[in-house]
Amino acid sequence: MSAMRRVVESSWLFPCKNSRTSVSRFFKTSSICRNVMPAWVIDKYGGNDVLRFSKNASFPIIHYPNEVIVKVFAAGLNPIDVSMRGGHGAATLSMKRDPLNIHQTGSEFPLILGRDVSGVIMECGLDVKYFQERDEVWAAIPPWKRGSLAEFVVLSANEVSLKPKTLSHTEAAAIPYVATTAWSALVNTGGLTRDNCAKKRILILGGSGGVGTFAIQMLKAWGAHVTVTCSQNAQRFVTGLGTDHVVDYTAGPVEVALAALDKFDLILDNIGGSTESWALNLLKPWSGAKYVTLVTPFLQNTDSLGVADGMLQNAATVARKALKYLVKGVHYRWGFFAPSGPALDEIREMVDAGQIHAVVDETFSFAQVPQAFAKVEKGHARGKTVVQINKGADDV
Ligand SMILES: NC(=O)c1ccc[n+]([C@@H]2O[C@H](COP(=O)([O-])OP(=O)(O)OC[C@H]3O[C@@H](n4cnc5c(N)ncnc54)[C@H](OP(=O)(O)O)[C@@H]3O)[C@@H](O)[C@H]2O)c1
């Protein structure tokens, strides 16, 4: 580690980011003499048939001094990749995209998906002190940035963290997006910490997928009592990750089985739909107990109503529901993915201490990206789907 991590938002330092020439004085002469790279891209939104392998995707450029170029060894897939392929969030994410990364046509296409990366730093911007070339790193890539289904990706150093030494790149790529989402939901929104979890009763609705399998392990490492809902054939799997109590949601009305248990301090909802009509009744009232759902209409609202009206609608919905449940003595919250190198630093320590294991459901080669999408799209995940991009993905 070459220096203390300094969290810098490069665009604050260089607000003139809208013109290529205005920032060119901050470029460093690249040691990588390439203009193109192999990548899986989409040129329009749709089903799996829009995925196209390109040998000539444009090579990433360091536009800001706090950025790094990472050679991708392995890329994890998430449900958001499938929904982004179909156009979900397109209007909202386009607003957030850096104009320097929009193609000359003014379009986001060709778009590269893939939110998890494990790989090696090839080049650092001039302001990067914490990392150096050849560092092995992992990161969760925000959905408004070019993704990891490519040979290289450019990221802000704030989003990157040194990879756990005990994991191969394939294993490491199974963790960052679900881990930073669970961290944001449980720690930032839910108020849990390693020091206040002991004896807390936590319910995870949907424990067998990517977010659930990570959240179980993190909460168990912090001493919580963890109850999980999953289907019957995942019961042994989630118990093996440390779950204290499992409820099979396919065996009958899950809310009835859960209501027979002691009440909970926090519920993490990975399922959504009708769950919030009964889940908040399972919380301990007047004790600060929280329900945090990851399944929200946030992007749907901003996509359909536009960013301004959609945000108003989102704020109104959350406020109305929060108030409705506040008078019953429990807290209602929406949880979101938040990119965070510092959170991944803490998660790395838990991984290297043996408290958290990567849960890889299935691995695909770079040539099999459409099959990997089909697998994620089918649902019934038992952990994560990972694509091996470069040779060496299995090296620890
Ligand atoms: N808000 C955000 O920023 C954010 C970020 C990440 C993820 N998410 C969302 O969070 C959700 C979970 O993400 P993930 O990556 O963990 O998804 P995932 O890997 O696809 O896992 C979903 C899991 O839920 C299980 N399941 C399905 N229906 C269930 C039910 N009624 N009760 C209990 N378990 C059920 C599935 O297995 P079976 O079907 O075999 O039971 C599967 O194991 C997704 O909807 C995702 O879009 C939101």
DSSP string, 218-254: HHHHTT-EEEEEE-GGGHHHHHHTT-SEEEETTSS-H
| DSSP-derived 3-state class of residue 120 | strand
What percentage of residues in the chain have a pLDDT greater than 90?
85
What is 10-175+359-388's CATH number, 3.90.180.10, 3.90.600.10, 3.30.70.580, 3.40.50.2300?
3.90.180.10
For residue 352, the surrounding DSSP H or E stretch is helix 341-352
Q: From residue 54, give the alpha-carbon distance in Å to each of 35, 36, 290, 305, 326.
A: 13, 9, 46, 34, 52
Classify residue 344 by burial, with Cβ atoms within 10 Å: 0-12, 13-18, 19+: buried
Task: Write the single-letter amino acid at 102.
Answer: I
The ligand 1 atom at the shortest distance from the C-alpha of residue 213 is 16
**Any ligand 1 atom below 6 A from CB of 139:** no
CB-based contact 372:385 (threshold 8 Å) = yes
Nearest Cα to Cα of residue 382 among 204, 219, 211: 211
Nearest Cα to Cα of residue 71 among 108, 37, 35, 40: 37
The 8-class DSSP code of residue 391 comes to T
pLDDT digits (tens, 9 = 90+) for 202-257: 999 999 999 999 999 999 999 999 999 999 999 999 999 999 999 999 999 999 99
- The domains of the chain are located at 10-175+359-388, 178-334
**Any ligand 1 atom below 6 A from CB of 294:** yes
Pair type for strands 290-293 and 331-334? parallel
Residue to mutate (ligand 1; options 88, 188, 189, 211; most atoms within 8 A of CB): 211
CATH tag, 178-334: 3.40.50.720
CB-based contact 202:225 (threshold 8 Å) = yes
Which residue puts its alpha carbon closest to atom 38 of ligand 1? 380
The ligand 1 atom at the shortest distance from the C-alpha of residue 275 is 31
- Provide the greatest CA pair distance for the chain: 65
Q: How far apart are CA 370 and CA 52, in angstroms?
A: 9
**Any ligand 1 atom below 6 A from CB of 124:** no
pLDDT level of residue 107 (50, 70, 90 thresholds): confident
- In the numeric block, which tokens belong to residue 135? 């560092």
Nearest Cα to Cα of residue 188 among 180, 199, 196: 180
CA 214 / ligand 1 centre spacing (Å): 12
pLDDT digits (tens, 9 = 90+) for 168-188: 999 999 999 999 999 999 999
**Any ligand 1 atom below 6 A from CB of 148:** no
**Any ligand 1 atom below 6 A from CB of 380:** yes
CA 271 / ligand 1 centre spacing (Å): 6
pLDDT level of residue 7 (50, 70, 90 thresholds): low
- Mean pLDDT value of segment 347-368: 98
CA 295 / ligand 1 centre spacing (Å): 9
Other CB atoms within 10 A of residue 73 CB: 27
Residue to mutate (ligand 1; options 230, 255, 277, 298; most atoms within 8 A of CB): 230
